[in-house]
Amino acid sequence: MSQPIPISSTQAAVFAYTELEAASIATLTKGSRDFLHTAHPEARNRNLERLSKRAVSLELHGCTLAEYYRLKRIPRGLRGILNKCSLDIITLTIEYIQKELLTVSEQASTLETQLAQTASQEELANTKARLEESMLKFRLETETRKREKFLRDAEDYTSGRIYRWTPGRPHVTTT
């Protein structure tokens, strides 16, 4: 027999056989075990009923999903999965953006260094001023557009609007 497994002061003692000991003990039994593998008629009947119910369930589930597809609707049960998938896609995109932003920033820094080495002080100052003005305008326009889209989406959530997509054009319906 095995010895109890050493324990910490907060755990109860656990007794266990090793795999070798357990296998050795199990082989000492006498008699046939074949009767255990012969299904009782009632068990076969229950199994047949279970399989028949499973076939009907699968058939009806397939028909129902086909109808959802025909109507271009997403079943409620899948919405949670799709929401999780959407959040995962958002997270993946954020991760990509962070990596790409480092690359683009390094490239911009390299280009700025090259520009500083080849342009005169006046040209460099003019270029930087134009760039700052252009970037400020671009940032403000982009922030405005993104804010409008974000507020539109927030309103959709608060008003309970959902989307039902049809090939070629979206339809917004209120729940």
Q: The whole model's pTM is what?
A: 0.52
154 by Cβ neighbours in 10 Å (0-12 / 13-18 / 19+) ranks as: exposed
- For residue 108, the model assigns a pLDDT of 93
Question: What pLDDT does residue 121 have?
Answer: 93
The region, left, alpha or beta by phi > 0 then psi within -120 to 50, assigned to residue 5 is beta
56 is a domain residue: yes
Confidence bin at 142 (pLDDT 50/70/90): very high
Between residues 82 and 117, which one has the greater pLDDT?
117
How many structural domains are present in the chain? 1
| Position 136 in a domain | no
Backbone phi and psi for residue 96, each to the nearest 5 degrees, phi listed first: -60, -45
Under 8 Å between Cβ of 29 and 38: no
Supply the pLDDT for residue 1: 54
Q: What is the tens place of the pLDDT at every residue in 54-86?
A: 888 888 888 788 888 888 777 766 767 787 888
pLDDT > 70 fraction of the chain, expressed in percent and rounded? 81
Confirm whether 53 is domain-assigned.
Answer: yes
The closest alpha carbon to 4, from 17, 19, 22, 23, belongs to 17
When the pLDDT of each residue in the chain is averaged and rounded to a whole number, the result is 81
Domain range for residue 53? 39-69
Q: 64 in a domain, yes or no? A: yes
Answer yes or no: is 62 within a domain: yes
Within a domain: residue 98?
no
Q: Is residue 43 domain-resident? A: yes
pLDDT of residue 85: 86
Question: Is there a domain that residue 46 lies in?
Answer: yes
